[in-house]
A and B are shown apart, each in its own frame.
Chain A
Amino acid sequence: MLDEAEVRQVARLARLGLTDEEVGVMRGQLAGVLAHVRDLDAVDVEGVDPLGLAPAGMGSREDDVRAGLAREDALAGAPEPVDEGFGVPKAFE
């Protein structure tokens, strides 16, 4: 059974800020979903290749260099463009 500590741990992994109230609500909802998906345990999946769906015709292609987005276009919607890159707050002291 999912507990609130696990919800907080998963939120930390996902870098997702949650309020205490949200942690409680999400715990209940996610526990319900995780109980529901146990229906998959009854399916015989012996020998099934989990990548067996990859369609034909989607093979690898030549690794050609192509023009990409112009730097100024890529930076235009960023919260903090700095010189020629994305500005970020300090990561550590």
Chain B
Amino acid sequence: MTRSIGEALAAARDGSAQEVATAAIARARDDRWGALLHVDQEGALAAAASVDTAATEGRAVGPLAGVPVVIKDNLCQRGTPTTCASKLLEGWVAPYDAHVVERLCAAGAVIVGKANLDEFAMGSSGETSAFGPTRNPCDEARVPGGSSSGSAAAVAAGIVPAALGSDTGGSVRQPAAFCGLVGLKPTYGRVSRYGLVAFASSLDQVGPIARDAASAAALFDVVAGYDPRDATSADAPRGEHVAAVARGVRGLRVGVPRDFVAGADPDVRDAFERALDRLVERGASVVDVALPHARHGVSVYYLVATAEASSNLARFDGVRFGLRVEGADLTETYERTRARFGPEVKRRILLGTYALSAGYYDAYYLRAQKVRVRIAEDFAQAFERCDVVATPTTPTVAWRLGERSDDPLQTWLQDLYTLPASLAGLPALSAPCGTGEAGLPVGFHVTGRRWDEATLLAVAGALEGER
């Protein structure tokens, strides 16, 4: 088992990247968690061979040379299937590389395969995949979280030391929390979405999931940065985030919105409080802050994100990509093809279409956008008193497979802690902070100022020091 990026890097320096890749492929082939949808043996071995050749010839290798990773299957990788875990894209082969794939390859990473996800990244349990659910390696009767379910499970199962997911409303952070891992959603604009299949464009970000903060930081440093092919990509200064992990938290002011945190289960709150105590022991201080509009995050998100999804997913119509189910005419072909979306995707397309439709736009979509601004204003005020805002990542530990699939609203309500940072475009991270009910992992969620991923990684590093 490769536990960290550092171990894989050390092996690559010894000229044994191919051995590391072969072992990772073997673990990927032995996937009993439903973590992966595709294993790219040929591509992975070729990438590893070129790392070994470079090392043998004394040429420079990249910062992730020989590190096996998996990427969520809503990221395009030229020549490999990209399904978004949907029947609509079954068999579709991406004709180009996503920006983050280009970055990974240039850094010498070895992409072992494509990870399972909730269909089109819509879900928070991994159960909406058209190709079967993913199981949580910490407890196989439980969900791994979602939507980056396979990315988290592949890391938790030890198949790879790190993975890329995407996070629209918590899809990197929540599965990281459920699987006992570090998950980072970067600042909106930090990582190019070129080649990420769009779900909700005002929210989507690509982010790393890894076993430890240093590995997450190493992956983040590789994929972050300006790309003109994503109109929202910002030309922000790039940091040295690996160094930030060991920076410590002395003098850090951790803001806690007490009313909001009270919504979590007692076992989760206990683990959260213990983590706050550890940060205080290491020199941080805890201050009360208020996020009075954060409790509206679920309503705002499920109007805004579904509205954007209803527009973005219009392109899956049986004409340009993947599946077509023939009808008598063009309209019937659209309807029959799109009937193959799973129920969660249909529900969101319907809700989003409704929220945008004539007569309802002002009451739903426009009002949600305005409350979204209020949520962002809350953070701006909180950051006058603190450096990060902390809550649990989720109100409960991982639930059992099948336990909540009948009631979508109840599942959506579980996203309350991850949504506000997404809506405000701020960076946020989930770090492991001990265990709750049944010995299952609990996540510590920190939101930072725009572009301040470094402080979030320092918090994650400080929490690790006590493990």
Residues of A whose CB lies within 8 Å of any CB of B are 6-7, 10-11, 13-19, 22, 25-26, 29-30, 32-34, 36-37, 39-41, 43, 45, 48-53, 55, 57-58, 61, 69-70, 73-74, 76-80, 86, 88-92
Contacts and interface: CB of A to CB of B under 8 A. Distances in A.
Contacts of A11: 350
B232 A18 contact: no
Given A13-B357, A15-B335, A45-B371, A39 B330 contact: no
4 nearest CB pairs, A to B: A17-B339, A79-B324, A73-B95, A45-B370
B319 interface: yes
A16 B339 contact: yes
25 contacts: A10-B354, A10-B357, A13-B353, A13-B357, A14-B314, A14-B353, A15-B335, A15-B338, A16-B350, A17-B335, A17-B336, A17-B339, A22-B346, A26-B350, A29-B409, A33-B412, A36-B409, A37-B302, A45-B367, A50-B369, A55-B450, A58-B231, A76-B95, A78-B321, A80-B324
Contacts of B373: 45, 48-50, 52-53
A40 B364 CA distance: 9
A88 B320 CA distance: 9
B350 A7 contact: yes
Given A40-B367, A43-B370, 7 more contacts: A17-B335, A36-B298, A57-B189, A58-B189, A77-B322, A80-B319, A89-B328
Nearest to B229: A66
Given A13-B357, A43-B296, A30 B351 contact: yes
A69 B95 contact: yes
B409 A32 contact: yes
Interface of B: 92-93, 95-96, 188-189, 202, 228, 231-232, 234-236, 293, 295-296, 298-300, 302-303, 310, 314, 317-324, 326-331, 333-336, 338-339, 341, 343, 346-347, 349-351, 353-354, 357, 364, 366-374, 376, 408-409, 412, 424-425, 450
A26 B347 CA distance: 7
Nearest to A37: B299
Contact of B330 (A74, A78, A91): A91
A71 B362 CA distance: 40
Contacts of B424: 53
Nearest to B91: A77
A77 B95 contact: yes
Contacts of B327: 89
Given A39-B296, A79-B323, A26 B235 contact: no
Given A16-B341, A73-B96, A30 B371 contact: no
B330 A89 contact: yes
Contacts of A48: 370, 373-374
A26 B346 contact: yes
B310 A14 contact: yes
Contacts of B333: 88-89
A92 B331 CA distance: 9
Contacts of B234: 55, 57-58
A61 B228 contact: yes
A70 B202 CA distance: 28
B350 A10 contact: yes
Residue of B92, B338, B371 most packed against chain A (CB within 10 A)? B371
Contacts of B298: 36
Contact of B353 (A10, A45, A50, A80): A10
A85 to B, nearest CB: 10
A74 B371 CA distance: 39
A51 B330 CA distance: 36
Nearest to A13: B353
A50 B374 CA distance: 10
B235 A77 contact: no
B370 A50 contact: yes
Nearest to B89: A77
A31 to B, nearest CB: 10
A77 B450 CA distance: 38
A13 to B, nearest CB: 5
Contacts of B328: 89
Contacts of A32: 409
B351 A18 contact: no
A33 B303 CA distance: 10
Nearest to B318: A79
A57 B235 contact: yes
Nearest to B324: A79
Contacts of B228: 61
A18 B326 contact: no
Contact of A74 (B95, B370, B408): B95
A80 B326 CA distance: 11
Contacts of A51: 369
A40 to B, nearest CB: 5
A87 to B, nearest CB: 8
Contacts of B336: 17
A32 B369 CA distance: 21
Contacts of A86: 319-320
